[in-house]
């Protein structure tokens, strides 16, 4: 299988369980890997034969814009949208990282990573 990676997507969003997290928001970083068979696009040089990374970025941005309490919930929404909107994707790995989380210590970030195969 071939892989497409979107690295270090930077977004500002409003996720969290604390009231200030959903009111003030913070910076996030998202990494996305998708696997699929890109044999046809390697031969044809046609965008319609591949997984369009512009659409992948749009999925991430749209789902990150919808507040959630848990990063796990955000990751699951991103994955469900990929399965629905990008049928060529057979496996996806999503990492959502909250930068400078309010956890009472000096922590650069906290992240959730989920790696799944497309549901049957």
Q: What are phi and psi of 90, to 5 degrees?
A: -105, -20
Question: Which residues touch 63 (CB under 8 Å, ≥6 apart)?
Answer: 74, 77, 78, 81
Distance of CA 119 to the CA centre of its chain: 17
Is 98 designated active site? yes
Annotated catalytic residue, options 43, 98, 118, 120: 98
Residue 57, number of CB atoms within 10 A of its CB: 14
Active site residues: 98
């Amino acid at each position: 299988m071939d892989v497409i990676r979107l690295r270090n997507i930077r977004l500002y969003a409003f996720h969290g369980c604390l009231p200030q997290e959903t009111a003030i928001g913070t910076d996030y970083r998202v990494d996305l890997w998708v696997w699929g068979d890109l044999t046809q696009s390697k031969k044809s040089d046609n965008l319609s034969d591949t997984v369009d990374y512009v659409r992948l970025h749009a999925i991430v941005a749209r789902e990150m814009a919808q507040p959630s309490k848990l990063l796990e919930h955000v990751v699951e929404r991103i994955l469900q949208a990929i399965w629905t909107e990008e049928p060529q994707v057979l496996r996806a790995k999503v990492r959502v990282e909250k930068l400078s989380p309010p956890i009472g210590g000096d922590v650069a970030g906290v992240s959730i990573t989920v790696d799944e195969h497309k549901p049957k």
